[in-house]
Amino acid sequence: MPGVCVIGLQWGDEAKGKIVDLLTQQSDFVVRYQGGANAGHTVVVGDQTYKLSLLPSGVLTPGVTCVIAGGVVINPAKAIEELEELEGRGMTHLDNLKISDRAHVIMPWHFAEDRVLDKSTGGEDIGTTQRGIGPCYRDKVGRSFAIRMGDLYRDSFPDRVRHIVAAKNEMLTAPDHLDADAVIEQYTVFAEKLRSHVCDTTDMLLTAAEEGKQLLFEGAQGSLLDVDHGTYPYVTSSNSSGVGVSNGSGVPAKHITHTLGIVKAYSTRVGGGPFPTEQDNEYGQHLREQGNEYGTVTKRPRRCGWLDAVALRYTARLSGVDGISVMLMDVLSGLKEIKICTAYELDGRTTDTYPSHVDDLRRVTAVYETLPGWDEDITGCTEMDQLPAAALGYLKRVSELVGAPVEYVSVGPGREQTIQAAAAAVGA
Protein backbone atom coordinates (compact mmCIF):
# COMPACT_ATOMS: atom_id res chain seq x y z
CA MET A 1 0.00 0.00 0.00
CA PRO A 2 1.73 3.22 -1.10
CA GLY A 3 -0.20 5.51 1.28
CA VAL A 4 -1.35 4.68 4.82
CA CYS A 5 -2.89 7.35 7.03
CA VAL A 6 -3.13 7.24 10.83
CA ILE A 7 -5.97 9.43 12.14
CA GLY A 8 -7.18 10.04 15.69
CA LEU A 9 -10.96 9.62 15.91
CA GLN A 10 -11.58 11.43 19.21
CA TRP A 11 -10.36 14.69 20.75
CA GLY A 12 -6.69 13.78 20.39
CA ASP A 13 -4.41 11.95 22.85
CA GLU A 14 -5.42 8.58 21.36
CA ALA A 15 -1.80 7.25 21.38
CA LYS A 16 -1.33 7.71 17.64
CA GLY A 17 2.43 8.03 18.08
CA LYS A 18 2.78 4.42 19.16
CA ILE A 19 1.01 3.08 16.05
CA VAL A 20 2.93 5.45 13.78
CA ASP A 21 6.16 4.20 15.30
CA LEU A 22 5.05 0.59 14.71
CA LEU A 23 4.01 1.19 11.09
CA THR A 24 7.15 3.22 10.39
CA GLN A 25 9.06 -0.06 10.20
CA GLN A 26 7.17 -0.78 6.94
CA SER A 27 7.48 2.73 5.48
CA ASP A 28 9.86 4.76 3.33
CA PHE A 29 8.42 8.15 4.33
CA VAL A 30 6.58 9.33 7.44
CA VAL A 31 4.70 12.59 6.91
CA ARG A 32 3.37 15.03 9.48
CA TYR A 33 0.91 17.19 7.54
CA GLN A 34 -0.96 19.55 9.92
CA GLY A 35 -0.90 21.17 13.35
CA GLY A 36 2.13 22.42 15.18
CA ALA A 37 4.02 21.83 18.42
CA ASN A 38 0.73 21.15 20.21
CA ALA A 39 0.67 17.46 19.34
CA GLY A 40 2.18 15.40 22.15
CA HIS A 41 3.22 11.99 20.82
CA THR A 42 4.81 9.57 23.28
CA VAL A 43 6.76 6.59 21.94
CA VAL A 44 8.31 3.90 24.16
CA VAL A 45 11.19 1.91 22.65
CA GLY A 46 12.64 -0.65 25.03
CA ASP A 47 13.44 1.20 28.24
CA GLN A 48 13.52 4.58 26.49
CA THR A 49 10.57 7.00 26.37
CA TYR A 50 10.50 9.74 23.73
CA LYS A 51 8.09 12.68 23.84
CA LEU A 52 7.71 14.57 20.58
CA SER A 53 5.43 17.49 19.85
CA LEU A 54 6.61 18.68 16.42
CA LEU A 55 8.90 16.10 14.84
CA PRO A 56 7.14 13.09 13.25
CA SER A 57 7.19 9.95 15.40
CA GLY A 58 9.00 8.14 12.59
CA VAL A 59 12.12 10.24 13.20
CA LEU A 60 13.21 7.59 15.70
CA THR A 61 13.73 5.02 12.93
CA PRO A 62 16.92 5.09 10.79
CA GLY A 63 16.46 4.70 7.05
CA VAL A 64 13.07 6.41 6.94
CA THR A 65 12.63 9.91 5.54
CA CYS A 66 10.55 12.01 7.95
CA VAL A 67 8.71 15.00 6.53
CA ILE A 68 7.13 18.03 8.14
CA ALA A 69 4.88 19.07 5.27
CA GLY A 70 3.54 22.43 4.18
CA GLY A 71 0.33 22.16 6.20
CA VAL A 72 2.24 22.27 9.49
CA VAL A 73 3.07 25.54 11.27
CA ILE A 74 6.66 25.49 12.50
CA ASN A 75 8.12 26.78 15.73
CA PRO A 76 11.82 26.69 14.72
CA ALA A 77 13.02 26.83 18.31
CA LYS A 78 10.98 23.73 19.15
CA ALA A 79 12.22 21.85 16.10
CA ILE A 80 15.81 22.60 17.07
CA GLU A 81 15.16 21.67 20.70
CA GLU A 82 13.75 18.26 19.76
CA LEU A 83 16.54 17.58 17.26
CA GLU A 84 19.20 18.46 19.81
CA GLU A 85 17.57 16.28 22.46
CA LEU A 86 17.56 13.28 20.12
CA GLU A 87 21.16 13.94 19.12
CA GLY A 88 22.06 14.08 22.80
CA ARG A 89 20.50 10.64 23.22
CA GLY A 90 22.79 9.18 20.59
CA MET A 91 20.77 9.45 17.38
CA THR A 92 23.01 10.00 14.35
CA HIS A 93 20.49 9.61 11.51
CA LEU A 94 18.61 12.91 11.92
CA ASP A 95 19.53 14.16 8.48
CA ASN A 96 16.48 12.10 7.51
CA LEU A 97 14.25 14.99 8.66
CA LYS A 98 12.91 17.21 5.88
CA ILE A 99 10.95 20.42 6.50
CA SER A 100 8.77 22.00 3.84
CA ASP A 101 9.85 25.40 2.59
CA ARG A 102 6.10 26.08 2.28
CA ALA A 103 5.39 25.50 5.99
CA HIS A 104 4.43 28.68 7.83
CA VAL A 105 6.59 29.92 10.69
CA ILE A 106 5.31 30.74 14.16
CA MET A 107 6.77 34.14 15.02
CA PRO A 108 7.00 36.02 18.34
CA TRP A 109 3.89 38.08 17.58
CA HIS A 110 1.87 34.86 17.34
CA PHE A 111 2.74 33.95 20.92
CA ALA A 112 1.72 37.43 22.06
CA GLU A 113 -1.60 37.24 20.22
CA ASP A 114 -2.32 33.78 21.60
CA ARG A 115 -2.06 35.06 25.16
CA VAL A 116 -4.68 37.69 24.42
CA LEU A 117 -7.09 35.55 22.42
CA ASP A 118 -7.17 32.41 24.56
CA LYS A 119 -10.72 32.85 25.84
CA SER A 120 -13.83 32.07 23.81
CA THR A 121 -17.07 34.00 23.91
CA GLY A 122 -18.57 33.57 27.36
CA GLY A 123 -15.20 32.98 28.98
CA GLU A 124 -14.97 29.18 28.56
CA ASP A 125 -11.47 28.00 27.73
CA ILE A 126 -11.25 26.79 24.12
CA GLY A 127 -8.24 24.69 25.09
CA THR A 128 -5.42 26.31 23.14
CA THR A 129 -1.91 25.39 24.26
CA GLN A 130 -0.85 29.06 23.75
CA ARG A 131 1.93 28.06 21.38
CA GLY A 132 1.04 30.61 18.70
CA ILE A 133 -0.51 28.01 16.42
CA GLY A 134 -3.97 29.55 15.94
CA PRO A 135 -2.65 33.06 15.22
CA CYS A 136 -0.11 31.62 12.77
CA TYR A 137 -2.85 29.80 10.86
CA ARG A 138 -4.90 33.00 10.88
CA ASP A 139 -2.03 34.96 9.33
CA LYS A 140 -1.50 32.15 6.83
CA VAL A 141 -5.05 32.58 5.56
CA GLY A 142 -4.84 36.38 5.82
CA ARG A 143 -1.55 36.34 3.82
CA SER A 144 -0.44 39.91 4.62
CA PHE A 145 1.56 38.99 7.75
CA ALA A 146 2.63 35.44 6.89
CA ILE A 147 6.20 34.11 6.81
CA ARG A 148 7.06 30.67 5.42
CA MET A 149 10.17 28.61 6.08
CA GLY A 150 11.51 29.41 2.63
CA ASP A 151 11.22 33.15 3.37
CA LEU A 152 13.84 32.85 6.12
CA TYR A 153 16.52 32.37 3.44
CA ARG A 154 15.54 35.31 1.23
CA ASP A 155 17.25 38.69 1.18
CA SER A 156 13.82 40.26 1.68
CA PHE A 157 13.34 38.59 5.09
CA PRO A 158 14.61 41.50 7.28
CA ASP A 159 12.42 44.07 5.53
CA ARG A 160 9.44 41.74 5.76
CA VAL A 161 9.87 41.33 9.51
CA ARG A 162 10.22 45.09 10.04
CA HIS A 163 7.01 45.69 8.09
CA ILE A 164 5.06 43.09 10.05
CA VAL A 165 6.42 44.11 13.45
CA ALA A 166 5.44 47.72 12.81
CA ALA A 167 1.88 46.64 12.01
CA LYS A 168 1.63 44.15 14.88
CA ASN A 169 2.94 46.64 17.46
CA GLU A 170 0.01 48.89 16.61
CA MET A 171 -2.35 46.10 17.64
CA LEU A 172 -0.47 44.82 20.69
CA THR A 173 -0.32 46.53 24.05
CA ALA A 174 3.00 48.05 25.15
CA PRO A 175 4.21 45.07 27.26
CA ASP A 176 4.02 42.83 24.18
CA HIS A 177 5.69 45.20 21.71
CA LEU A 178 8.41 43.56 19.64
CA ASP A 179 11.91 44.59 18.57
CA ALA A 180 12.18 43.85 14.84
CA ASP A 181 15.99 43.65 14.83
CA ALA A 182 15.98 41.18 17.72
CA VAL A 183 13.44 39.01 15.89
CA ILE A 184 15.52 39.10 12.69
CA GLU A 185 18.67 38.11 14.56
CA GLN A 186 16.97 35.28 16.46
CA TYR A 187 15.24 33.76 13.44
CA THR A 188 18.33 34.06 11.26
CA VAL A 189 20.11 31.83 13.77
CA PHE A 190 17.20 29.39 13.72
CA ALA A 191 17.24 29.35 9.91
CA GLU A 192 20.93 28.45 9.75
CA LYS A 193 20.51 25.59 12.21
CA LEU A 194 17.67 24.14 10.13
CA ARG A 195 19.02 24.97 6.65
CA SER A 196 20.05 21.41 5.79
CA HIS A 197 16.55 20.13 6.55
CA VAL A 198 14.49 22.65 4.54
CA CYS A 199 13.44 21.73 1.02
CA ASP A 200 10.48 21.38 -1.36
CA THR A 201 8.76 18.45 0.31
CA THR A 202 5.71 18.62 -1.97
CA ASP A 203 7.77 17.66 -5.02
CA MET A 204 9.62 15.05 -2.94
CA LEU A 205 6.41 13.36 -1.79
CA LEU A 206 4.71 13.46 -5.20
CA THR A 207 7.75 11.81 -6.75
CA ALA A 208 7.87 9.20 -3.97
CA ALA A 209 4.17 8.40 -4.42
CA GLU A 210 4.54 8.09 -8.19
CA GLU A 211 7.49 5.72 -7.67
CA GLY A 212 5.41 3.49 -5.40
CA LYS A 213 7.24 4.31 -2.18
CA GLN A 214 5.51 3.47 1.09
CA LEU A 215 4.12 6.69 2.59
CA LEU A 216 2.79 6.90 6.16
CA PHE A 217 0.79 10.01 7.01
CA GLU A 218 0.78 10.95 10.69
CA GLY A 219 -2.21 12.93 11.92
CA ALA A 220 -2.01 15.28 14.90
CA GLN A 221 -4.80 16.01 17.41
CA GLY A 222 -8.09 14.17 16.67
CA SER A 223 -11.01 14.32 14.25
CA LEU A 224 -13.37 15.95 16.76
CA LEU A 225 -10.93 18.88 16.86
CA ASP A 226 -11.10 19.46 13.10
CA VAL A 227 -11.57 23.19 12.47
CA ASP A 228 -14.33 22.58 9.90
CA HIS A 229 -15.91 19.32 11.06
CA GLY A 230 -15.23 19.15 14.80
CA THR A 231 -16.91 20.60 17.90
CA TYR A 232 -16.39 24.19 16.78
CA PRO A 233 -15.23 26.53 18.32
CA TYR A 234 -13.59 24.07 20.74
CA VAL A 235 -11.27 22.80 18.04
CA THR A 236 -7.74 23.14 16.76
CA SER A 237 -6.77 25.45 13.86
CA SER A 238 -6.30 22.86 11.13
CA ASN A 239 -8.10 19.94 9.48
CA SER A 240 -7.18 17.18 11.91
CA SER A 241 -9.54 14.57 10.44
CA GLY A 242 -8.79 12.48 7.38
CA VAL A 243 -10.06 15.23 5.09
CA GLY A 244 -6.91 17.25 5.83
CA VAL A 245 -4.33 14.76 4.59
CA SER A 246 -4.11 15.85 0.96
CA ASN A 247 -4.29 19.60 1.47
CA GLY A 248 -1.67 19.45 4.25
CA SER A 249 0.79 17.12 2.54
CA GLY A 250 0.21 18.00 -1.11
CA VAL A 251 -0.31 14.33 -1.97
CA PRO A 252 -3.56 13.58 -3.86
CA ALA A 253 -6.11 11.24 -2.30
CA LYS A 254 -5.58 8.62 -5.02
CA HIS A 255 -2.24 7.76 -3.37
CA ILE A 256 -3.84 7.16 0.07
CA THR A 257 -4.99 3.55 0.01
CA HIS A 258 -5.60 2.69 3.68
CA THR A 259 -6.79 4.79 6.62
CA LEU A 260 -6.40 3.51 10.17
CA GLY A 261 -8.49 5.20 12.85
CA ILE A 262 -6.95 5.37 16.33
CA VAL A 263 -9.43 4.95 19.17
CA LYS A 264 -8.69 5.19 22.87
CA ALA A 265 -10.66 2.47 24.72
CA TYR A 266 -12.44 5.28 26.58
CA SER A 267 -12.83 9.02 25.97
CA THR A 268 -10.74 12.01 27.07
CA ARG A 269 -10.82 15.71 26.40
CA VAL A 270 -8.67 18.72 27.31
CA GLY A 271 -10.04 22.23 27.75
CA GLY A 272 -13.59 23.45 27.35
CA GLY A 273 -16.45 22.23 25.22
CA PRO A 274 -19.22 19.64 25.58
CA PHE A 275 -18.31 16.07 26.53
CA PRO A 276 -21.48 13.90 26.67
CA THR A 277 -19.84 10.83 28.26
CA GLU A 278 -17.66 12.64 30.81
CA GLN A 279 -17.47 10.92 34.21
CA ASP A 280 -16.64 13.37 36.98
CA ASN A 281 -16.68 10.56 39.52
CA GLU A 282 -14.75 7.46 40.61
CA TYR A 283 -14.89 5.98 37.10
CA GLY A 284 -13.36 9.10 35.58
CA GLN A 285 -10.72 9.16 38.27
CA HIS A 286 -9.87 5.49 37.63
CA LEU A 287 -9.38 6.23 33.93
CA ARG A 288 -7.27 9.32 34.64
CA GLU A 289 -4.93 7.64 37.10
CA GLN A 290 -4.63 4.27 35.38
CA GLY A 291 -4.19 5.92 31.99
CA ASN A 292 -1.89 8.71 33.25
CA GLU A 293 -4.22 11.15 31.58
CA TYR A 294 -2.14 14.30 31.78
CA GLY A 295 -1.11 16.18 28.65
CA THR A 296 2.22 15.26 27.04
CA VAL A 297 2.71 18.88 26.01
CA THR A 298 0.72 20.84 28.61
CA LYS A 299 0.67 18.46 31.64
CA ARG A 300 -2.97 19.46 32.10
CA PRO A 301 -5.25 16.76 33.58
CA ARG A 302 -7.57 15.41 30.92
CA ARG A 303 -11.30 15.07 31.37
CA CYS A 304 -12.22 11.37 31.21
CA GLY A 305 -15.33 9.39 30.36
CA TRP A 306 -16.83 6.36 28.66
CA LEU A 307 -16.36 5.57 24.99
CA ASP A 308 -18.72 7.54 22.73
CA ALA A 309 -19.71 5.37 19.77
CA VAL A 310 -21.95 8.08 18.30
CA ALA A 311 -18.92 10.35 17.93
CA LEU A 312 -16.75 7.48 16.66
CA ARG A 313 -19.24 6.49 13.96
CA TYR A 314 -19.22 10.09 12.77
CA THR A 315 -15.45 10.51 12.70
CA ALA A 316 -14.86 7.08 11.16
CA ARG A 317 -17.17 8.07 8.29
CA LEU A 318 -15.62 11.52 8.04
CA SER A 319 -12.09 10.13 7.77
CA GLY A 320 -13.06 7.13 5.66
CA VAL A 321 -11.37 4.62 7.94
CA ASP A 322 -10.74 1.07 6.78
CA GLY A 323 -9.94 -0.27 10.24
CA ILE A 324 -9.38 0.85 13.82
CA SER A 325 -6.70 0.44 16.44
CA VAL A 326 -8.01 0.33 20.03
CA MET A 327 -5.49 1.82 22.44
CA LEU A 328 -4.99 1.70 26.24
CA MET A 329 -7.19 -1.37 26.68
CA ASP A 330 -5.21 -2.20 29.83
CA VAL A 331 -6.61 0.92 31.53
CA LEU A 332 -10.05 -0.70 31.63
CA SER A 333 -8.79 -3.69 33.63
CA GLY A 334 -10.23 -3.75 37.14
CA LEU A 335 -13.61 -2.26 36.25
CA LYS A 336 -16.57 -4.52 37.06
CA GLU A 337 -18.63 -3.01 34.26
CA ILE A 338 -17.85 -0.82 31.28
CA LYS A 339 -20.27 1.45 29.46
CA ILE A 340 -20.43 2.53 25.83
CA CYS A 341 -22.57 5.42 24.62
CA THR A 342 -24.59 4.04 21.69
CA ALA A 343 -27.04 6.93 21.14
CA TYR A 344 -28.09 10.37 22.38
CA GLU A 345 -31.35 11.66 23.78
CA LEU A 346 -32.07 15.11 22.36
CA ASP A 347 -35.35 17.01 22.67
CA GLY A 348 -37.26 13.89 23.63
CA ARG A 349 -36.03 11.69 20.82
CA THR A 350 -33.24 9.14 20.45
CA THR A 351 -30.64 9.74 17.74
CA ASP A 352 -27.38 8.20 16.61
CA THR A 353 -26.46 11.28 14.56
CA TYR A 354 -23.66 13.49 15.88
CA PRO A 355 -24.91 17.11 16.19
CA SER A 356 -23.35 19.68 13.89
CA HIS A 357 -23.73 22.53 16.40
CA VAL A 358 -22.00 22.66 19.75
CA ASP A 359 -25.12 24.02 21.50
CA ASP A 360 -27.05 20.87 20.56
CA LEU A 361 -24.18 18.66 21.72
CA ARG A 362 -24.33 20.37 25.11
CA ARG A 363 -27.97 19.37 25.48
CA VAL A 364 -27.69 15.68 24.64
CA THR A 365 -27.91 12.92 27.22
CA ALA A 366 -25.81 9.82 26.56
CA VAL A 367 -27.66 6.52 26.17
CA TYR A 368 -25.45 3.72 27.47
CA GLU A 369 -25.02 0.02 26.89
CA THR A 370 -23.34 -1.79 29.78
CA LEU A 371 -20.81 -4.58 29.18
CA PRO A 372 -19.02 -6.79 31.71
CA GLY A 373 -15.55 -5.75 32.79
CA TRP A 374 -12.54 -7.89 33.67
CA ASP A 375 -10.01 -8.10 36.49
CA GLU A 376 -7.16 -9.81 34.64
CA ASP A 377 -3.88 -8.00 33.91
CA ILE A 378 -3.68 -7.96 30.11
CA THR A 379 -0.39 -6.09 29.72
CA GLY A 380 1.48 -9.31 28.92
CA CYS A 381 -0.92 -10.55 26.25
CA THR A 382 0.61 -10.95 22.80
CA GLU A 383 -2.24 -12.71 20.97
CA MET A 384 -5.94 -11.96 20.74
CA ASP A 385 -6.94 -15.32 22.21
CA GLN A 386 -4.98 -14.49 25.39
CA LEU A 387 -7.35 -11.63 26.19
CA PRO A 388 -10.22 -12.25 28.65
CA ALA A 389 -13.56 -13.07 27.08
CA ALA A 390 -15.00 -9.79 28.37
CA ALA A 391 -12.22 -7.80 26.69
CA LEU A 392 -12.84 -9.61 23.40
CA GLY A 393 -16.54 -8.90 23.78
CA TYR A 394 -15.83 -5.22 24.31
CA LEU A 395 -13.64 -5.04 21.20
CA LYS A 396 -16.25 -6.84 19.11
CA ARG A 397 -18.96 -4.43 20.24
CA VAL A 398 -16.79 -1.37 19.54
CA SER A 399 -16.08 -2.70 16.06
CA GLU A 400 -19.79 -3.24 15.40
CA LEU A 401 -20.72 0.23 16.59
CA VAL A 402 -17.94 2.02 14.68
CA GLY A 403 -18.46 -0.04 11.54
CA ALA A 404 -14.84 -1.03 10.99
CA PRO A 405 -12.71 -4.04 11.96
CA VAL A 406 -10.18 -3.89 14.77
CA GLU A 407 -6.67 -4.14 13.31
CA TYR A 408 -4.53 -3.47 16.38
CA VAL A 409 -5.03 -3.57 20.15
CA SER A 410 -2.64 -1.84 22.55
CA VAL A 411 -2.27 -3.35 26.04
CA GLY A 412 0.59 -1.19 27.33
CA PRO A 413 2.98 1.59 26.32
CA GLY A 414 5.79 -0.55 24.87
CA ARG A 415 6.24 -1.36 21.20
CA GLU A 416 5.93 -5.05 22.02
CA GLN A 417 2.62 -4.47 23.86
CA THR A 418 0.67 -4.19 20.62
CA ILE A 419 -1.44 -7.05 19.33
CA GLN A 420 -2.14 -7.33 15.63
CA ALA A 421 -5.74 -8.47 15.55
CA ALA A 422 -7.31 -10.86 13.08
CA ALA A 423 -10.16 -8.88 11.59
CA ALA A 424 -12.30 -12.01 11.40
CA ALA A 425 -12.09 -12.45 15.17
CA VAL A 426 -13.28 -8.99 16.21
CA GLY A 427 -14.43 -7.39 12.98
CA ALA A 428 -17.74 -5.72 12.28
Give the residue among 57, 68, 54, 60 at the shortest CA–CA distance from 19.
57
In this prediction, residues 226-247 reach a mean pLDDT of 93
Binding residues for GTP: 12-18, 40-42, 302, 328-330, 410-412
One CATH from 3.40.440.10, 1.20.120.450, 3.40.30.10, 3.10.129.10 for 3-101+197-258:
3.40.440.10
Q: In residues, how long is the chain?
A: 428
Q: What is the mean pLDDT of the chain?
A: 90
- pLDDT score for 425: 44
Q: What's CA 81's distance to the chain center, in Å?
A: 20
Q: How far apart are CA 389 and CA 373, in angstroms?
A: 9
CB 48 within 8 A of CB 29: no
pLDDT at residue 199 is higher than 70: yes
Cα 220–Cα 115–Cα 83 angle in degrees, nearest 5? 45
SS (H, E, C) the chain: CCEEEEEECCCCCCCHHHHHHHHHCCCCEEEECCECCCCCEEEEECCEEEEECCCCHHHHCCCCEEEECCCEEECHHHHHHHHHHHHHCCCCCHHHEEEECCCEECCHHHHHHHHHCCECCCCCECCCCCCCHHHHHHHHHHCCCCCEHHHHHCCCHHHHHHHHHHHHHHHCCHHHCCCHHHHHHHHHHHHHHHHHHEECHHHHHHHHHHCCCCEEEECCCCHHHCCCCCCCCCCCCCCCCHHHHHHHHCCCHHHCCEEEEEEECCEEECCCCCCCCECCCHHHHHHHHHCCCECCCCCCECEEECEEHHHHHHHHHHHCCCEEEEECHHHHCCCCEEEEEEEEEECCEEECCCCCCHHHHHHCEEEEEEEECCCCCCCCCCCHHHCCHHHHHHHHHHHHHHCCCEEEEECCCECCCEEECCHHHHCC
Q: What's CA 144's distance to the chain center, in Å?
A: 28
Per the DSSP assignment, residues forming a β-bridge with 207 are none
Domain covering 104-147+154-194, topology: Adenylosuccinate Synthetase, subunit A; domain 2 (1.10.300)
- pLDDT score for 81: 92
pLDDT digits (tens, 9 = 90+) for 280-324: 999 999 999 999 898 766 677 889 999 999 999 999 999 999 999
Among candidate residues 13, 21, 226, 308, the one labeled active-site is 13
pLDDT digits (tens, 9 = 90+) for 114-124: 877 764 445 55
pLDDT above 70 as % of the chain: 93
Instruction: Let me know if 78 is a catalytic residue.
Output: no
SS (H, E, C) 16-68: HHHHHHHHHCCCCEEEECCECCCCCEEEEECCEEEEECCCCHHHHCCCCEEEE
Q: How far apart are CA 278 and CA 162, in angstroms?
A: 48
User: Long-range CB contacts (< 8 A, 24+ apart) of 282-291?
Assistant: 283/335, 286/334, 286/335, 287/331, 290/330, 290/331, 290/333, 290/334, 291/266, 291/328, 291/331
Answer with the residue of higher pLDDT: 297 or 325.
Answer: 325
Binding residues: 12-18, 38-42, 129, 143, 221, 236, 296-302, 328-330, 410-412
pLDDT at residue 426 is higher than 50: no
Give the residue among 193, 213, 240, 296 at the shortest CA–CA distance from 71.
240
- pLDDT score for 18: 87
Among candidate residues 104, 110, 140, 255, the one labeled active-site is 140
Whole-prediction pTM: 0.90
- pLDDT score for 300: 79
The domain ranges of the chain are: 3-101+197-258, 104-147+154-194, 263-420
Homologous superfamily assigned to 263-420: Adenylosuccinate Synthetase, subunit A, domain 3 (3.90.170.10)
Give the residue among 332, 342, 403, 397 at the shortest CA–CA distance from 369.
342
C-alpha distances in angstroms, 199 versus 13, 33, 54, 217, 374?
30, 15, 17, 18, 51
Binding residues for Mg(2+): 13, 40
Instruction: Let me know if 140 is a catalytic residue.
Output: yes
- pLDDT score for 202: 97
- pLDDT score for 427: 44
pLDDT at residue 231 is higher than 60: yes
pLDDT at residue 223 is higher than 60: yes
Answer with the residue of higher pLDDT: 120 or 125.
Answer: 125
- pLDDT score for 335: 95
Instruction: Let me know if 13 is a catalytic residue.
Output: yes
- pLDDT score for 382: 94
Among candidate residues 21, 41, 226, 308, the one labeled active-site is 41
In this prediction, residues 350-366 reach a mean pLDDT of 96
In this prediction, residues 205-227 reach a mean pLDDT of 94
pLDDT at residue 265 is higher than 90: yes
